[in-house]
Structure 1
Amino acid sequence: MPKLLNQFRSFYFRNYPDDMEIQIDYFAVFGGVGWDIDTSKPIAFLIEELILQNFNTLEEKIEQLTLGESENKRLLRALAVGDRRIFSAFNRAGLNNANGGSALNYLQEKGLVQIEYSREEPAKSLNSNKKLKREIARHRVSHKVLFTQPFVRFWFYFIVPHAKEIREGKFDDFFKDFETRQNSYTSLVFEELSEILLNYHIRDSQILSSGSYWDAKIEIDILTITDDESIYVAECKWTNHIVNKSELHKLEEKCEKLDIKPTQIAFFSKRGFSKELMMNQSKELALYSASDFDALVKSTSKEELIEEFI
């Protein structure tokens, strides 16, 4: 996670976007490349100018990073568009545990991905003589995978499926796809950054465990536990809709099912919150908008810029 934060700060001090919404949107595409980006220009214009028009050069670099191996590229594509779970990514990529595991190990060693380990307890029966229900017994705890550079995920999410058309200079289908799914794509980067911001605000505590939580039935975007047994849960919404009180009820229900009593519930939203939810802000309910992410850059300096790999 610190690597993503360093890239986020580096992007900001290179380009000084007008606001944090632009910072997050543009970082989700260009994060990790180390380019100077004119964020006053529309993102679609920049994608065409910097990526699509330079497709051949960038494809060569991606080929070098993946050794040109089909298994590596198929796995990256599956991880970019799927639920990030290792076993389902193998299935989507047409890989088995052997060649899929080999590809995953290579991508880790190359620094393109990192594992996000599940915090789900393996299923077991309380009665040692009693068998588990079939659907529970068949459920495998699956770790997830995160890309270490947003640009690489962008490439395999949007560019790869349209590569043939892009080579021919035909960009229409790509831009239709991008316009339709941009918010959905950006949501994961927003979720990762939201975890960083949440943990920044509780930095005086010792964090024992942090990340997303998932099991066979429940998913929570962020679950952070500190050494004083405080529990922070959060959901992240990078959509064009405000977050209302119904989202609070849904998250409270998830906590009840997990039998946890959060010290604080937090929401991170691109478009803000309903008046009703705003009136409920307290120590137990924290609400963060895009503008709050400036806390991640104001505590550093331009001298701390890092070099990215592309």
Structure 2
Amino acid sequence: MFIGRKRELDDLEQRYKNGKFEFAVIYGRRRVGKTTLINEFIKDKEAIFYTGIEGNEKENLEGLSKSIYSLSQDFAEASSSFTSYEEALETVFKIAKKRRIVFVIDEYPYIAGSYITLSSILQIIIDKNKDISKMFLILCGSSLSFMENQVLGYKSSLFGRRTCQYKIMPFDFFEIKDYYNKFNNIDLAVIYGITGGIPLYMSLMNDFHSVEENIKRNFLVPNAYLFEEPTNLIKQECRDPSQYNSIIRAIASGSSRMSEICTKTGLDTGLATSYLNKLMSFGIVKREIPFGTDSSRKTIYILKDFMFRFWYRFIPDNLATINRGLADIVYNRIAPHITSFMGSVFEEICKQYLWELNRQGKAAITFTDLGRWWGNDQINKRETEVDIIGTADDKTAFLCECKWTNENVDTGVLDTLIERSKLFSFTNTYLYIFAKTGFTKGCIDKAKEYGKVKLITFDEMVKS
């Protein structure tokens, strides 16, 4: 079942209908649904589709040739292969002078890596034909660094040639609601937390089964798809997977600052920085600084990918037990910690909710950015943090606390948020508290008394 991506599909369709030359760049991390999106777009169109392989120049040219020759109406007989990429590409562009053709090269980094002048050749052919061509060219890739630097970057031969670009992101929580019918809201949040909104991982989750059963079936048996998925992805992308794994394990265990990561892994700062940059380019790790500051001294690194967070938190320490087929025992170890794991997931869901309110003009303020803040509480002389801060300008803001607990939120949480709001120089401050379950009467009464406070339950978020 194809869900979501309406904005991207609508835009692609509009561009297709104009009949002019189009060059779309589609990129994003592995498993995020790029190829599925392209297949949905071309399902009713004449298209040439080639997926690059990790092979040499000859192998990729032969594969590309077969894809082009699949347009049998244009060839009396198909030879084994074009003699060069120039000949192959010129042939496709010649066909596209007569009629609309979608020409897709998926996993472009593989084919371009096997023939390093391919982008330059493509640039020359585009420049020669774009004004007379009905070609709809799509280059797609999973290597974010390659696509951003070697295709979209200003030093690339192809710079300035693309007519549109789409960075395909994981689904957010509110998009995955359409995918499942039988999970309740809490279960849906946990499913989002363990899949990270990655379409392939979502497809493995069966809403006829409980969350517990889905975790067991997909993570806690040796032949499950997700049992080795993170390590397989790292092996696929990295030449030295052991070092990348050690960094991810360090971050997952709570080492978030560069000094802590280096101590945990034994790497020097230069090497650790190089590995972290690569992991960030994959969309696995994220660099954060406190919202509203530009201080690199307070930089931390977190796992951006929720599935990676879940896996590295719970699987490595239980590998031996899983390999013995004791999924029930492992789940019983994991279950008491799922609520704490969901804390950061819920914060992300709350951010998504706030952005949607902002889009609809229903937020307390029309904000331009939001993020997490941490720093010194000069009043109480200790480190503190605010889950989410959003700002409209340097005087107007909102502060949010996100509580994923089974108990109703009491007045203490509101009192703390009020105190933390005094750490900032905003003159017009609104407060949000988001709760998994609900609020005590005391908290509700105090919020009304204080004013400028919004108390929102998770169920209310889902229904909105």
User: Runs of 5+ in structure 1 lacking a partner?
Assistant: 124-139, 299-310
Work out whether 1:11 is the aligned partner of 2:179: no
Instruction: Compute the displacement of 1:274 (Å).
Output: 0.6
1:1-310 equivalence runs, <5 A: 6-31=171-196, 32=198, 33-55=201-223, 57-67=225-235, 69-82=241-254, 84-119=256-291, 121=293, 141-203=297-359, 204=361, 207-216=367-376, 217-227=383-393, 229-261=395-427, 263-281=429-447, 284-294=452-462
Question: Closer, same or farther in 2 for the Cα pair 1:207/1:248, shift >3 Å?
Answer: same
Q: Contact 2:395/2:425 (CA < 8 Å) preserved in 1? A: no
Q: Contact 1:211/1:223 (CA < 8 Å) preserved in 2? A: yes
Instruction: Compute the displacement of 1:174 (Å).
Output: 2.4
Question: Closer, same or farther in 2 for the Cα pair 1:122/1:110, shift >3 Å?
Answer: closer
Question: Closer, same or farther in 2 for the Cα pair 1:248/1:51, shift >3 Å?
Answer: same
Aligned residue identity for 2:243: E
Q: Aligned partners of 2:348, 2:414: CA distance in 1, in Å?
A: 20
Identical-pair percentage: 22
User: Runs of 5+ in structure 2 lacking a partner?
Assistant: 1-166, 377-382
Aligned residue identity for 2:233: L
- Name which one, 1 or 2, has greater alpha-carbon Rg: 2
Is the partner of 1:15 in helix, strand or coil?
Answer: coil
Q: Could you report, residue by residue, the CA deviation over 1:43-74 in whole angstroms, capped at 9, with x for unpaired residues?
A: 12111112222556535542332126122112
Question: Closer, same or farther in 2 for the Cα pair 1:231/1:11, shift >3 Å?
Answer: same
Q: Contact 1:4/1:148 (CA < 8 Å) preserved in 2? A: no
Q: Contact 2:219/2:227 (CA < 8 Å) preserved in 1? A: no
Instruction: Compute the displacement of 1:211 (Å).
Output: 0.7
Q: Aligned partners of 2:170, 2:427: CA distance in 1, in Å?
A: 29
Normalised to the residue count of structure 1, the TM-score between the two structures is 0.78
Question: Closer, same or farther in 2 for the Cα pair 1:252/1:274, shift >3 Å?
Answer: same
Is the partner of 2:368 in helix, strand or coil?
Answer: strand
Which residue does 1:129 correspond to in 2?
A: none
Aligned residue identity for 1:207: F
Q: Contact 1:113/1:145 (CA < 8 Å) preserved in 2? A: yes
Q: Aligned partners of 1:36, 1:64: CA distance in 2, in Å?
A: 17
Q: Contact 2:386/2:400 (CA < 8 Å) preserved in 1? A: yes
Aligned residue identity for 2:391: I
Instruction: Compute the displacement of 1:231 (Å).
Output: 0.6
Q: Aligned partners of 2:168, 2:339: CA distance in 1, in Å?
A: 23
Is the partner of 1:210 in helix, strand or coil?
Answer: strand
Alignment RMSD (CA, Å): 2.9
Q: Contact 1:19/1:291 (CA < 8 Å) preserved in 2? A: no
Instruction: Report how many residues are paired.
Output: 279
Q: Aligned partners of 1:15, 1:249: CA distance in 2, in Å?
A: 38
Q: Aligned partners of 1:270, 1:170: CA distance in 2, in Å?
A: 31
Normalised to the residue count of structure 2, the TM-score between the two structures is 0.54
Aligned residue identity for 2:312: F
Question: Closer, same or farther in 2 for the Cα pair 1:208/1:41, shift >3 Å?
Answer: same
Instruction: Compute the displacement of 1:147 (Å).
Output: 3.4
Is the partner of 1:141 in helix, strand or coil?
Answer: helix
